């Protein structure tokens, strides 16, 4: 597994910390992990590592747009029409905004096995007083635990389609919890954002692929 973990702003810093669980799970499953953390999440190093180790799974954490996933300081790592071919024979999970809209389909056309990502923005809410302690942020957990489960499912040997489905099931469970009478008004206000992620998380390509 190759994972990118830039941490140059509050949003990427949250993903940086919440991705620690994915590294732990991969090592627990005896999978080799290359962690492009912080400034190592740059285009030169990403390209070099992919060519050298030919990972079966690439996990992107970072900002993105319709055609791009980015690394540290928003440097493009993979861009449609430029280097999507680098994802050939790889299963991808891109925890970034919008990249499954154009980059995802282009990557599949170029030989990527499966591209799991978002065809619109990926959103998560945070608590102001937890900004320096992302792992203690229970609001962020409601959003980031389900997204983590895409990768955890793949590491456990599930198919890409199944991993996508299991992740969405956890989103649904979280939504149901927030509809209970015991939920606060602030909790209930998270439901539209969870629903948004549920609707815009897509699994492109071979839904039977495994790592």
* 130 CA to centre of own chain: 21
Record the tokens describing residue 42, joined without a space.
């740059």
Place of tokens 């732990």: 24
Q: Is the pLDDT of residue 184 over 90?
A: no
pLDDT range class, residue 116, cuts 50, 70, 90: very high
Is 60 strand, coil or helix? strand
**Predicted local confidence at residue 182, as pLDDT:** 83
pLDDT attached to residue 149: 98
Backbone angles phi, psi at 206, to 5 degrees: -80, 110
Task: List pLDDT tens digits, range 7-48.
Answer: 999 999 999 999 999 999 999 999 999 999 999 999 999 999
- Give dist(CA 133, CA 158) in Å, integer: 31
Structure confidence at residue 153 (pLDDT):
98
Tell me the pLDDT tens digit for each residue of 72-102. 999 999 999 999 999 999 999 999 999 999 9
Q: Which residues contact 157 (CB under 8 A, 6 or more apart)?
A: 210, 211
Query: What does the mean pLDDT of the chain come to?
Result: 97
Q: How far apart are CA 19 and CA 50, in angstroms?
A: 19
């Amino acid at each position: 597994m190759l994972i990118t973990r830039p941490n140059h702003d509050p949003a990427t810093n949250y993903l940086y910390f919440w991705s620690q669980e994915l590294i732990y799970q991969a090592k627990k499953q005896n999978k080799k992990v290359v962690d492009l953390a912080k400034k190592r999440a740059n285009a030169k190093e990403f390209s070099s590592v992919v060519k050298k180790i030919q990972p079966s799974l690439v996990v992107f954490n970072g900002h993105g747009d319709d055609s791009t996933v980015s690394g540290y300081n928003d440097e493009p790592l993979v861009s449609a029409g430029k280097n999507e071919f680098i994802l050939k024979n790889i299963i991808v999970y891109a925890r970034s905004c919008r990249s499954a809209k154009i980059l995802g389909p282009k990557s599949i056309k170029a030989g990527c096995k499966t591209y799991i990502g978002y065809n619109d923005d990926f959103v998560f809410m945070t608590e102001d007083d937890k900004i320096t302690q992302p792992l203690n942020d229970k609001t962020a957990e409601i959003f980031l635990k389900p997204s983590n489960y895409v990768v955890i499912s793949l590491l456990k040997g599930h198919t890409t389609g199944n991993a996508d489905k299991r992740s969405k099931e956890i989103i649904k469970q979280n939504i149901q919890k927030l509809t209970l009478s015991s939920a606060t008004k602030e909790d209930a206000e998270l439901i539209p954002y969870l629903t948004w992620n549920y609707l815009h998380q897509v699994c492109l390509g071979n839904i039977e692929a495994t790592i």
